[in-house]
Amino acid sequence: MKKDLEAKFLSDFEANQNIAHKICRLYTTNQSAHNDLFQEITIQVWKNYPKFRGDSKFSTWMYRVALNTAISLYRKSTRTIKTQDFDDIAFKIKSTDYDDTEELQLKALYKAVHQLNDIDKALIFLYLEDKPYKEISETLGISSVNARVKMNRAKEKLKNILNP
């Protein structure tokens, strides 16, 4: 029984690991912090996996667990943000068929989001991932009206950073 569950977890998580990687990129600025957070997300998803009942999609549920882990995890390295760390990220996600303007935009986007607080980061992430307000409000545990208001503020903040 447990073996089945474990196998299912491994294949679900493997297939959806990009969610965790994206969250790590938003919440951390260097590779070792990225890996630490990724590990903690893996542990939390596995620990909570027996509670996942399958009434929603695995990915939907994983967004919530992964974001909550990022928000509540104690990270020592957040205070030392170094600029070259952003270049690391950009370099890592560079590929041949990749448009240069978009690469610069993406780099600027990450740099801007890094300046937001943890909750705003979560909101912007869910916006970028095209999540409906219903899902955003369930993830954060607030009403969808509140989610809308808060989302608009977070977007305003982000725009001001991107285009001062």
Partner 1 sequence: MDLLENYKKAWDNQPEEVSKFSELEIYKLAHSRSSSIVKWIFIIGILEFVILNSMYFFVDMDEAYAEYKKIGLENFIHYSQILAYVIIFYFLGMFYLNYKKISTSDSTRVLMKKIIKTRKTVRNYVIFNLSYMALIMFIVMAAEINLKFEDLNTKQILLIVLLTLVLTLVILGGLWLFYQLLYGILLRKLNRNYKEIAKLDRIN
Residues interacting with partner 1, by CB under 8 A?
6, 9-11, 13-14, 17-18, 21, 36, 38-40, 42-48, 51-52, 61, 64-65, 67-69, 71-75, 92-95, 98-99, 102-103, 105-106, 108-109, 117-120, 122, 127-128, 130, 138-143, 145-147, 149-150, 155, 158-159, 162-163
Which C-beta is closer to partner 1: that of 87 or that of 102? 102
User: CB of 39: closest distance to partner 1 in angstroms?
Assistant: 5
For 36-53, b/e burial (b = at least 16 CB within 10 A) is: bbbebbbebbeeebeebe
Q: CA quadruple 52, 140, 152, 113: dihedral positive or negative?
A: negative
H helices of the chain, where?
2-27, 31-48, 58-72, 83-92, 100-113, 118-128, 133-140, 144-162
User: CB of 130: closest distance to partner 1 in angstroms?
Assistant: 8
User: CB of 30: closest distance to partner 1 in angstroms?
Assistant: 14
Which C-beta is closer to partner 1: that of 82 or that of 104? 104
User: CB of 28: closest distance to partner 1 in angstroms?
Assistant: 13
* Dist. CA 111–CA 26, nearest whole Å: 9
* Dist. CA 31–CA 36, nearest whole Å: 9
Which C-beta is closer to partner 1: that of 51 or that of 83? 51
Which C-beta is closer to partner 1: that of 82 or that of 153? 153
Which C-beta is closer to partner 1: that of 71 or that of 81? 71
Asked if 58 and 12 touch (Cβ cutoff 8 Å), the reply is yes
Structure tokens of 82?
A: 């170094």
